[in-house]
Chains A and B, each alone.
Chain A
Amino acid sequence: MGSRDQHMILNMGPQHPAMHGVLRLVAEIDGEIVVRIYPEIGYLHTGIEKTCEAKFYQQVVPLTDRLDYLSPMANNLCYCLAVERLLGLEIPEKAQWLRVLLSELTRLNSHLIWLGTHAMDIGALTVFLYTFREREEILRIFEGLAGQRMMTSYFRIGGLSMEPPLDFYDRVQGFIKSFPEKIDEYSNLLTGNPIFKGRLKGVGILSAADAIALGVTGPNMRGSGVDFDLRRDMPYSGYEKFQFKVPIATEGDCWARYLIRLVEMRESVKMIQQALDGLPEGPIKADAPKIVLPDREKMKTQMESLIHHFKIVTEGFAVPAGEVYQGIESPRGQMGYYVVSDGTAKPYRVHFRNPSYATLQALDTMLRGRMIADVIAVVGSIDIVLGEIDR
């Protein structure tokens, strides 16, 4: 390696097609070898945490969609669970199962985008068109459900916003019936592809100890051999009732992370099937008239419901003082929302612990001494979303 004055500083991003948003990487390079790499973030900072403090509890739900915009339901779920624990609110079983179903559908949605863009960065353009074909079907299901394709805001504090439409279950069933074949299709295109394999195998290695020390979570951590998944080990929202395997690999390279996400998609399909088969009957909202908005029909016919509706919309609902940290396994890793209440109708402090933020810290460890072209492969393989990093 040459002396320091021969090194060159290279700026990648914030406007770079392979930087998955507005990530700027400052790379110190010696020829084509990366000496040091430093992520410069904050280009998308909108102060969402500050905004939350000025909103009612229920008004924060749509804001959470905008964090990790590729998996909106995971964000909704994490926030709603946190506030429900502050309130001590029990959620009906049907709502819990539907939440699991939708979270796993969101995982498929998110992994499909990761697979498409990751393969495209490396030069396998075809897969992108295939994964977006399947993602389109998921987005149509979401649209039927919430009226919105991406920013669904379908979860509410105390349950879900409304009953799913009549054709929802058939559409989900139809989708997951054909989906395992689609995963085989991607796998046929990529797993045996020598170029794809050559770009990923042995690239961006992260050891188990480094993964823990640097706060890397989710598929990236499990690709390094750390066997921990919040869905299985610290279950929430009824995940303990589902059977699924947590894939582990020990290599810690981009290839391991790729294989793990493929298996995760297959496991998600199984969980959606279990949710469809075992879906209990019952209401989708908790019986808490002062917290959950009443049905439209009741509001038009019953005086109390109208009063509750008016009160919730105009002054919100008070949440008992306290602090709660709710962790869930989002498609990218451990997501945690820390909500502090001072007993009023607005959160005193909301903090979002997002998995991508910590994962970025590991970039330098993964890339030191590697070729500059590997930067693209590694940034693609860790699956980051800048919306949740910058907040």
Chain B
Amino acid sequence: MRADQLIGQAAVLEGLCSHPAVKAILAWKPEALVDAKFDRNELTLTIAAEEIRTAATTVQSAGYNFFEDVTAVDWFPSSPRFQLSYHIVSHQYMERIRLRVMVEGDAPVVESITAVWPSANFYEREVFDLFGITFEGHPNLCRIMMPDDWQGYPLRKDYPVEGYR
């Protein structure tokens, strides 16, 4: 039986030790797992920012085969400023997990996971376009929604809703 809510790494490791994604991450590199929570029936694993590509490979081989979505959340003005949420579905376990990465600074750089899932291509471009997060190793990192000569990153919290006039 699963509890409804498990907050904190220790609680998740204890309550969900047999979960395939948790097991795979622990078998690969326990110190890459920074934080974890199980809330509203969703498992969130926070991964150290520099390990995200290998973490993606790990969960992929653990059965989480379908990359669904990546997006960012701007927690301005707190630090670390940006949160990246990767949503990955397993066709085998019929379940979804979230890999979370926290990144510091105003112009952060994260490794791209397009080598693991080519479908991340457009999603990473969108995050780059609207949040200004650079993905290293992306094959074609340019603006996708906004015009190429656009100044600023519209989905950041310090960008006004009406835009700059």
A357 within 8 A of B: yes
B120 contacts across to A, CB distance below 8 A:
215
A315 within 8 A of B: no
A9 within 8 A of B: no
Per the 8 Å Cβ criterion, residues 54-83 of B in contact with A are 65-69, 71, 73-74
A325 contacts across to B, CB distance below 8 A:
42, 69, 85, 87, 96, 98
Give complex CA distance A53, B158 in Å. Answer: 12
Give complex CA distance A321, B147 in Å. Answer: 34
* Smallest beta-carbon distance B1→chain A, Å: 19
Can you name 25 A-B residue pairings with CB atoms under 8 Å?
A45-B146, A49-B130, A49-B155, A50-B154, A53-B161, A88-B40, A214-B118, A215-B68, A226-B91, A228-B66, A322-B40, A323-B85, A324-B42, A325-B69, A327-B68, A327-B89, A327-B96, A349-B74, A351-B69, A351-B71, A353-B68, A358-B119, A358-B122, A390-B145, A391-B145
* Smallest beta-carbon distance B11→chain A, Å: 16
A85 contacts across to B, CB distance below 8 A:
40-41
Q: When the two chains form their complex, are residues A214 and B145 in contact, meaning their CB atoms are under 8 A apart? A: no
* Smallest beta-carbon distance B161→chain A, Å: 5
A336 within 8 A of B: yes
A186 contacts across to B, CB distance below 8 A:
none
B96 contacts across to A, CB distance below 8 A:
234, 325, 327
A50 contacts across to B, CB distance below 8 A:
154-155, 159, 161
Q: When the two chains form their complex, are residues B144 and A324 in contact, meaning their CB atoms are under 8 A apart? A: no
Decide if the interface of chain B is mainly helix, strand, loop or mixed.
mixed
Q: When the two chains form their complex, are residues B85 and A338 in contact, meaning their CB atoms are under 8 A apart? A: yes
A41 within 8 A of B: yes
Residue count of chain B within 8 Å CB distance of chain A: 38
Q: When the two chains form their complex, are residues B39 and A41 in contact, meaning their CB atoms are under 8 A apart? A: no
* Smallest beta-carbon distance B90→chain A, Å: 10
Give complex CA distance A53, B65 in Å. Answer: 32
A1 within 8 A of B: no
CB < 8 Å: which of A88, A228, A233, A349 contacts B73?
Answer: A349
Closest to A391 in B: B145
A47 contacts across to B, CB distance below 8 A:
154
A361 within 8 A of B: yes
Give complex CA distance A85, B4 in Å. Answer: 12
B121 within 8 A of A: yes
B42 contacts across to A, CB distance below 8 A:
323-325
Give complex CA distance A327, B69 in Å. Answer: 11
Give complex CA distance A263, B154 in Å. Answer: 42
Instruction: Given contact pairs A49-B155, A51-B161, A349-B74, enumerate 15 new A-B contacts (beta carbons under 8 Å).
Output: A42-B147, A45-B145, A53-B161, A86-B40, A214-B119, A215-B68, A216-B119, A234-B94, A234-B95, A322-B39, A322-B40, A323-B42, A325-B98, A348-B73, A390-B145
A327 contacts across to B, CB distance below 8 A:
68, 89, 96
CB < 8 Å: which of B73, B87, B94, B117 contacts A353?
Answer: B87
Give complex CA distance A214, B117 in Å. Answer: 7
B65 contacts across to A, CB distance below 8 A:
212
Give complex CA distance A334, B130 in Å. Answer: 23
A360 contacts across to B, CB distance below 8 A:
122
Q: Mark A23-55, 1 if CB is under 8 A from B, else 0.
A: 000000000000000000110010101110110
Q: Mark A318-341, 1 if CB is under 8 A from B, else 0.
A: 000011110100000010101010
A213 within 8 A of B: yes
| Residue from B44, B118, B119, B121 whose CB has the most chain A CB atoms within 10 Å | B119
Q: Mark A265-280, 1 if CB is under 8 A from B, else 0.
A: 0000000000000000
A41 contacts across to B, CB distance below 8 A:
144-145
B69 contacts across to A, CB distance below 8 A:
325, 336, 338, 351, 353
A216 contacts across to B, CB distance below 8 A:
119
Interface pairs A-B: 10 shortest CB-CB: A215-B119, A353-B69, A351-B71, A45-B145, A42-B145, A233-B94, A349-B73, A54-B161, A228-B91, A214-B119
Give complex CA distance A254, B52 in Å. Answer: 36
B117 contacts across to A, CB distance below 8 A:
213, 215
Q: When the two chains form their complex, are residues B95 and A361 in contact, meaning their CB atoms are under 8 A apart? A: no
Closest to A44 in B: B145
* Smallest beta-carbon distance B9→chain A, Å: 17
Q: Mark B27-56, 1 if CB is under 8 A from A, else 0.
A: 000000000000111101000000000000
